[in-house]
Amino acid sequence: MLSRLLSGDTPRSLPLAVLLAMVVAALVLAPILFPGAKALAVAAKILIFVLLVASYDLLLGYTGIVSFAHTMFFGIGAYGVAIASSRMEPSLGALLGGTGAALAVSLVLSVVIGLASLRVRAIFYAMITLAVAAAFQTLVSQLSGLTGGEDGLSFRVPPWLRPGFSVFESSWLHINGRVLTYYIILLVVACSFLALLRVVNSPFGRALQAIRENDFRAQAIGLNTVLYRTGSNVLAALVATLAGSLYALWLRYNGPSTTLSFEIMLDTLLMVVIGGMGTLYGAILGATIFVLAQSYLQNLLAMASEATTGLPLVAALFSPDRWLLWLGILFVLSVYYFPTGIAGRLRARAAVSRTGGHTARMPGAATNEPH
């Protein structure tokens, strides 16, 4: 039953399965296990970035496409909800209408970018997508009448999604509108993630992996590589748009620096690399580790700095202001010890154990450089 739900693409590694089970259980029970506004916000951010990273892994890990415009679609989804909700009465119709309009815009843009640029290879395509993303961010900042410019847009959500709305209350659990919003995000992310698993394990997904491994050979056996790459680009863009809509719903705000900054694009790329390209499960681990480090590393460094106050140089090294330095060190170490990502490394170890010490190719795991 579980294998069918996962489209036959099980973790295939006991340590990986345990890690994933722990993360999923923690996310499902987050409102109970980790009470508090910050903890719930961190859990919601992890969920949303799991979906964003999984959509980017479809491009990078499964198709071999390096795109720097992925967060543009993330921003389109967030702006769709923000613009619709700020101009309409706070209702479910505004949220769905904004999401639908954003998906339509992303569909058109992704098709145009795909057909116009995917014939260009490697770094040239990456530069084109970077230019498109930069132009879009500038356009959004200048259209202040529609997007709020640099200040962004704040909006209200339906009353039943607000913190003051009580759904259920007991001595050990209080489900208000905020917790209900969290579980809506959880449900949408879970369904979307399972749908992506089904896609990458379908004939379409196998074709994408063939193109990633050797696009010339894929063309020789009759695959229309431009069509498949465009399809992958469109699907990844639509999922990223959905993630952006969920992010705006949670924040009840959106601005250029919130969803369109190049920093988010780099963070997404780091999460894919840390978790493991071409596995999808790596998105869960990569997003969880990165968001937790981003949210709590400063607190841990502050504790370490206080504990080493008698050693001035050491205390200065552990200053919370240097959290980016330590985040960089953690990333370098993770890449050094897990060059194929956490999920990829654990799957490879399990494969070696099953084959008696001989390295086996892991289906669905990226092994070549992106084309």
In a domain, 79, yes or no: yes
In a domain, 84, yes or no: yes
> In this model, does residue 363 exceed pLDDT 60?
no
Determine if the pTM surpasses 0.75.
yes
> In this model, does residue 161 exceed pLDDT 90?
yes
In a domain, 24, yes or no: yes
Boundaries of domain holding 269: 2-354
In a domain, 365, yes or no: no
Q: CA-to-CA distance for 64 and 122, rounded, in angstroms?
A: 9
- Output the six-digit token pair for 261: 């900054």
| pLDDT, average across residues 66-87 | 95
Tokens 């039953």 sit at which residue? 1
Question: Residue 366: pLDDT band by 50, 70, 90 thresholds?
Answer: very low
If you ran DSSP here, which 8-state letter would residue 222 be given? T
> In this model, does residue 33 exceed pLDDT 70?
yes
**Of 289, 291, 281, which Cα lies nearest the Cα of 340?**
281
In a domain, 40, yes or no: yes
In a domain, 360, yes or no: no
In a domain, 367, yes or no: no
191-219 confidence digits (pLDDT tens): 999 999 999 999 999 999 998 888 888 88
What is the CATH number for 9? 1.10.3470
Report the range of poorest mean pLDDT among 164-173, 212-221, 267-276, 308-317.
Answer: 164-173
* Beta bridge mates, 176: 166
Q: CA-to-CA distance for 152 and 171, rounded, in angstroms?
A: 39
In a domain, 370, yes or no: no
The per-residue pLDDT for 358 is 55
Domains of the chain: total:
1
> In this model, does residue 289 exceed pLDDT 60?
yes
Strands of 219-318 (E only): list them.
Answer: 253-254
Q: CA-to-CA distance for 98 and 111, rounded, in angstroms?
A: 20
